[in-house]
Every structure is written in C-alpha cells, then in structure tokens.
Amino acid sequence: MSAPRLQVIGDPVLHSKSPVIHAAMLAELGLDIPYTPHVVPKGGLPGYLTWAKAHHVIGFNATMPHKEDLVPLMDQLDEDAGRIGAVNTVCVRDGKLIGHNTDGAGCLIALEQAGLWPRDQVVVLGAGGASKAVALKLAACGARQVWVCNRTPGKAQALAAAGPGGVLTPADFSLETLTRLCTQAQLVVNCTNLGMAGCGQFEAFSFLDALPESAGVFDLIYHPAQTQLLAQARARGLRACNGLPMLLHQAVLALEHFLDRPLDRDRMARAAAAALERSRQ
C-alpha cells in the first residue's frame, strides 16, 4: 500500500495556502505526511473520490466549487457540515467518507481568542457560503440575534430560514439599515469580499459610528491584513480582528479530524502563522 497522503482540492486550487499551513503543522508534529494541491474541476468529484481511495488519501480539504457538491457524496456528515450544507474537510476511514465543516468553529475560536464573542447580537454582512457557516455556528452557540445583511434579499432570507427559529433575521445592505442594526449590535462580521484587492469597497463606513464603544469588528479577509473596514473600526476605538486567526484555526481543526486526535491548537496555529509569514518574504 502506498504511503498516506493529504490534499486540498478545488478549481482553481494551486494558489491555496493550505499546503503551507498543513505542511508546517505536520512538520511541527514530526509527521512525514505529504499535503498537496489537486485540481478537481466542477463535476469531477466522483472520479476524484475513487482515485483518492485507491491512492491512500486519508483526508482532504475542499474549496470552491466543491463544498456543497460533496454533501450528498459523504457516508457520514458531522453536525456542522449537516447544518451548513457544505463540507470543507473529508476524512477517508475504512473506505468511508466522513464530511466535516470547520469554518464556523474556526471563526468561533478566533472570536473567542480576540475577545470579540459577545453571545448576544451580531450583524453578519453577506449571505454566501462563508456567511452561512459563520451565522449558523454563532446561532447554534448562543447568539441571541443574528442579522444577515445582503444586497440580494432572497439569499439573506434563505440563510435566515436555515437557522434556529427567531435567531437569524434577514436585512438589506443599505447604509440606513446597517446603521440602525449597529445601534443594537456588539459585533459586526464581514463575510463579503468588500475590501479585498480588486473586489470593491464599502460605499461608506459611517454605520460603524452607531456601534457601542465595547463592540468589535471581525473581517474574514486576511489579505490585506488591515482592510479599510478594520482601519475605520480601529480609528473609532473599536476592537478589530482580521480573518487570519480563523484561517489558521479552521485548518487546525481539520488536521485534528485527519489525525483523529486532539492537538495543541495554539502551538499548531503559531507554526502555521510563521510558515505563512516566511512564504510571503
């Protein structure tokens, strides 16, 4: 039998930081398990899964466009993957495919470590896949109210309907609405691509003025390290955090699934962060 291997699949996927992150964590653990990117186009999952089982792939991460398409192909789903309807981590055990989703849990760990998790009222910006993972996890872990703000009302309504009764509420993305909701919120989480290079920008940031002094702003974007949203939040004296801790902790959780054992999460995150920094130099 060939040696065990780990992969990340998607299309495109060669730009993924997952190999850098996981290689650093595996090296920190003294494990010689290769982790490589593997291009799998849309519609290519059945063929890849057959190949993976035959070539001793013990687990893989998945990015666009496969997270939702993996769900019906799994033999078993964990609670988060089932709730979100998307899989980003797959373990292959005894020929069975076990699907996990570590995005929401990674976000929660990042919020807790940054002191930003209020367990109260949250404004989530966007209604895509990342928003779904974050909003549903926060709702499941004690948020009293989560407003899902999106320019397309139908997407916000669909996401809100997937949550526990009365916790998720759809809203529009107008400056007036954001301002009104921020008067009641303790946390704003940006799950849109606004602020990412080449992806547009917020029309205005005055809605941040409505947040209470103790509120926080979390931006899932980690490159650039400080988006305009975070800069504007900090200029107002608000606590702010980018998406790098979430990226690292969702990867740590994935590796725990792959290895089927708990890890020193802070140690793993530090090793991965250092490797990412070296890769940019």
**According to the model, what pLDDT value does residue 165 have?**
83
Q: Is the pLDDT of residue 270 over 80?
A: yes
pLDDT at 280: 84
| pLDDT at 195 (0 to 100) | 94
Tens of pLDDT, residues 5-47: 999 999 999 989 999 999 999 999 999 999 999 999 999 999 9
| Spatial contact of 141 and 92, defined as CB atoms under 8 Å apart | no
Catalytic residue, chosen from 17, 53, 67, 155, is 67
Please state, for a pLDDT cut of 90, what percent of the chain lies above it: 90
Residue 28: per-residue pLDDT: 98
Contact assessment for residue 9 and residue 62, using Cβ atoms and an 8 Å cutoff: yes
Check if the beta carbon of residue 151 is closer than 8 Å to that of residue 193: no
Per-residue exposure over 74-87, b if at least 16 CB sit within 10 Å of its own CB, e if not: beebbebbebbbbb
Are the beta carbons of 65 and 11 closer than 8 angstroms?
yes
- At residue 198 the predicted structure's pLDDT band, cuts being 50, 70 and 90, is confident
Question: Of 118, 116, 19, which is closest to residue 60 (Cα–Cα)?
Answer: 19
Is the pLDDT confidence value at 191 over 90?
yes
pLDDT at 223 over 90: no
Of 163 and 217, the structure prediction assigns the larger pLDDT to 217
pLDDT in tens, 94-148: 999 999 999 999 999 999 999 998 789 999 999 998 999 999 999 999 999 999 9
State the virtual CA torsion across 6, 39, 223, 230 in degrees, nearest 10: -90
Q: Which two tokens stand for residue 89?
A: 């981590």
Strand 96-100 with 89-93, pairing: antiparallel
What does the pLDDT look like over 61-76, one tens digit per residue? 999 899 999 999 999 9
Whether 53 is catalytic = no
- Beta bridge pairs of residue 217: 188, 240
Give the residues across from 57 on adjacent strands. 5
Residue 82 has pLDDT above 70, yes or no: yes
Tokens 């089932």 locate to: 82
% of residues, the chain, pLDDT over 70: 100
- Which pLDDT score, from 0 to 100, does residue 209 have? 98
Where are the strands (E) in the chain, listed by range? 5-10, 35-39, 57-62, 76-77, 89-93, 96-100, 121-125, 145-149, 168-171, 187-190, 216-219, 239-241
Which of the four pLDDT bands, split at 50, 70 and 90, describes residue 164? Answer: confident
Q: What is the pLDDT of residue 166?
A: 86
